[in-house]
Structure 1
Amino acid sequence: MKKAMKKLMAALLAVAMVCAMAIPAFAEGAGTAGTGTTYTITINNPVGTYEAYQIFSGDLHDGTLSNVTWGTGVSEAGKTALGDAKTKAASLNEANVKTFAEEVSSYLDATSGTYDAGKITGLSAGYYLVKNSSVGEHETYTSFILKVVKDVNVFPKGDKPTLEKKVKDINDTTDDTTSNWQDSADHDIGDEVPFQLTAKIASNFADYKTYKFVFHDVQSAGLDFLEDTVKVKVGGTELTADQYEVITTGLTDGCTFHVVIEDLKQIRSAAADAKVVVEYKSKLNKNAVIGSKGNPNEAYLEYSNNPYDTHGTTTTPNDKVTVFTFKVIANKIDGATTKALEGAAFALYKKDKAGDWNLVALNNATESAAGEYTIVDKDKTTFEWVGLDDGTYKIKEVITPAGYNTIDEQIFTVTAEHDVTSEDPKLTSLSGIATIGEIQFTPDTSKGSLSTNIENNRGTTLPGTGGIGTTIFYVVGGGLMVAAAVLLITKKRMENR
Structure 2
Amino acid sequence: MKKVKRLASLILAFVLAFVLAVPAFAATVNNETGHEYKAYQIFTGTQASDDVTGALAVTGWGSGVDGATFLAELKTANADLYGNANSAAEVAAVLSENNSNSEVANEFAKIAEKHIKKDQGIDIAADAELTAGYYLFVDQTTTSGKDDVKGLSLLQVTQKGDIELKSKNDKPSVEKKVKENLKNVSGNKDDRIPDYELSTGYNDVADYNIGDDVPFELIGTLPQNLDLYNTYKYIFHDTLSAGLTYKEGSLKVYVVDTEKDTENDDNVIPESAYKLTVANQKIEVAFDNIKSVDGVAAGKKIVVKYEATLNKNAEIGLDGNKNEVYLQYSNNPNNGGEGDTGETPKDEVLVFTYELDVTKIDGATAGDNPKKLAGAKFVLKNSEGKYVQVDADGKVTGWVDTEPNPENQEDAAGILTSNDDGLFKVIGLDAGTYYLKEVVAPAGYNILKDEIELKVLATTKNDQNWTSGNASDALTALKIKVGTGDETDGDVNSGIVSATVQNNKGGTLPETGGIGTTIFYLTGTILVLGAVVLLITKKRMENAEK
Same fold (TM over 0.5): yes
Match of 1:358 in 2: 387
Partner residue in 1 for 2:278: 248
- The yes-or-no answer on 1:311 pairing with 2:339 is yes
Tell me if 1:218 matches 2:250. no
SS state of the match for residue 378, structure 2?
strand
* Maintained 8 Å contact 2:374/2:419: yes
Task: Give the Cα separation in 1 of the matches to 2:244 and 2:416.
Answer: 32
1:242-391 equivalence runs, <5 A: 242-249=272-279, 256-309=282-335, 310-337=338-365, 338-352=370-384, 356-361=385-390, 367-369=406-408, 379=420, 381-391=422-432
- The one-letter amino acid of 1:428's match is T
Give per-residue Cα distances to partners, 1:396-434, cap 9 Å, x unaligned: 223321111123421122221111220235211122212
CA distance in 2, matches of 1:248, 1:190: 20
Counterpart of 2:42 (choices 36, 52, 55) is 55
Residue 192 of structure 1: aligned partner? 213
Q: How far has the Cα of 1:452 moved from its partner?
A: 1.9
Aligned equivalent of 1:132 = 139
Q: What secondary structure sits across from 2:41 in the alignment?
A: strand
Aligned equivalent of 2:95? 92
Structure 1: tracts of 5 or more residues without a match: 1-15, 20-25, 30-36, 463-497
Say which of 146, 152, 170 aligns to 1:159: 170
Give the conservation status (yes or no) of the 8 Å contact 1:327–1:388: yes
* Structure 1 equivalent of residue 478 of structure 2: 430
Note if 1:142 corresponds to 2:180. no
Structure 1: how far apart are the matches of 2:305 and 2:382? 28
Report SS of the residue matched to 1:428.
strand
Aligned pair partner of 1:42 in 30, 34, 53: 30
1:446: which partner in 2? 493
User: Counterpart of 2:191 in structure 1: which amino acid?
Assistant: T
1:230-260 deviation per Cα after TM superposition (whole angstroms, max 9, x unaligned): 11111252111111221124xxxx7611011
Deviation at 1:98, TM superposition (A): 2.8
| Long gaps (5+) in structure 2 | 1-9, 14-20, 50-54, 75-85, 183-188, 262-266, 395-403, 510-546
Closer/same/farther in 2, CA of residues 153 and 435 from structure 1, 3 Å limit: same
Give the structure with the larger helix fraction.
2
SS in 2 for 1:403: coil
Q: Is the 8 A contact 1:411 1:435 kept in 2?
A: yes
1:282 Cα offset (Å): 0.4
Trace 1:473-492 onto structure 2 (pairs within 5 A): none
In structure 1, give the amino acid aligned to 2:358. Answer: A
When residues 217 and 334 of structure 1 are mapped into structure 2, their CA distance, relative to the original with a 3 A threshold, is same
Structure 2 distance, partners of 1:440, 1:400, is 26
CA contact 1:183–1:419 (8 Å) conserved in 2: yes
CA contact (8 A) 1:217 1:256 kept: yes
What is the distance in 2 between the residues matched to 1:92 and 1:366?
Answer: 84
- SS of 1:343's partner is coil
Deviation at 1:77, TM superposition (A): 5.5
Shift in alpha-carbon separation, 1:149–1:238, aligned structure 2, 3 A = farther
- Aligned match of 2:443 in 395, 402, 406? 402
Higher relative strand content: 1
Q: For each residue in 1:116-161, what CA deviation from the matched residue of structure 2 results, as whole angstroms up to 9, or x when unmatched?
A: 34x4x13233321002100563121235554443343343230111
1:71 aligns with 2:63: yes
Give aligned pairs, total: 424
Structure-2-length-normalised TM-score: 0.70
Structure 1 CA distance, aligned partners of 2:217 and 2:23?
Answer: 53
The separation in 2 between residues aligned to 1:270 and 1:367, in whole angstroms, is 59
Determine whether 1:419 maps to 2:461. Answer: yes
Q: Name the aligned partner's letter for residue 319 of structure 1.
A: D
RMSD across aligned positions (CA): 3.4
Determine the C-alpha separation between the residues in 2 that align with 1:185 and 1:27. 53
Letter in 2 for 1:128: Y
List per-residue Cα deviations over 1:4-51 (Å, max 9, x = no partner): xxxxxxxxxxxx9469xxxxxx9967xxxxxxx6222334x5142211
Match of 2:222 among 201, 219, 231: 201
- Please state how far the C-alpha of 1:270 moved relative to its aligned partner: 1.0
Distance 1:216 1:357 in 2: 37
Q: Is the 8 A contact 1:442 1:452 kept in 2?
A: no
Cα distance in 1 for partners of 2:64, 2:331 equals: 28
Deviation per CA, 1:39-71, whole angstroms, max 9, x where unpaired? 22334x514221111223467775755651342
Deviations 1:368-391 (A, max 9, x none): 548897997863521110000122
| Worse-matched range after superposition: 84-93 or 450-459 | 84-93
Bigger radius of gyration, 1 or 2? 1
Per the alignment, do residues 461 and 406 of structure 1 end up closer, same or farther by CA in structure 2, a change over 3 Å counting?
Answer: closer
- Native 8 Å contact 1:292 1:446 kept in 2: yes
Check 1:60–1:230 CA distance in 2 against 1; reply closer, same or farther (3 A cut). Answer: same
How far 1:280 moved relative to its partner? Answer: 0.6
Q: Which amino acid aligns with 1:41?
A: V
Shift of 1:205: 1.2
Q: Does the Cα contact within 8 Å between 2:406 and 2:439 map onto a contact in 1?
A: no
In structure 2, C-alpha distance between the alignment counterparts of 1:372 and 1:218, rounded to whole Å:
37
